[in-house]
């Protein structure tokens, strides 16, 4: 396992909004949930957490 600290990337407000929009689109078109709405999906869980984190950044 790597012991490196997480890297930091600076995004403009517009780039963050685009990322949030893209994550929302991704979540709404999940093929796993299209087949079975209550199925677990690690990608969706991670995308949802990231989207929430970015939305908090926009609101700040």
Q: Give the start-to-end residue ranges of the domains of the chain.
A: 13-59
Give the pLDDT confidence score for residue 45 in this predicted structure: 93
Least confident of 2-6, 33-37, 54-58: 2-6
Give the pLDDT confidence score for residue 1 in this predicted structure: 54
Give the pLDDT confidence score for residue 60 in this predicted structure: 80
Q: pTM score, two decimals?
A: 0.76
Give the pLDDT confidence score for residue 4 in this predicted structure: 72
CA 18/CA 15 separation, integer angstroms:
5
CA 28/CA 14 separation, integer angstroms:
21
């Amino acid at each position: 396992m790597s012991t490196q600290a997480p890297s930091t990337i600076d995004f403009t407000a517009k780039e963050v909004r685009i990322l949030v929009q893209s994550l929302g689109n991704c979540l709404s078109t999940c093929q796993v949930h299209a087949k079975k709405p209550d199925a677990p999906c690690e990608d969706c869980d991670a995308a949802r957490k990231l989207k929430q984190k970015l939305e908090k950044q926009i609101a700040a």
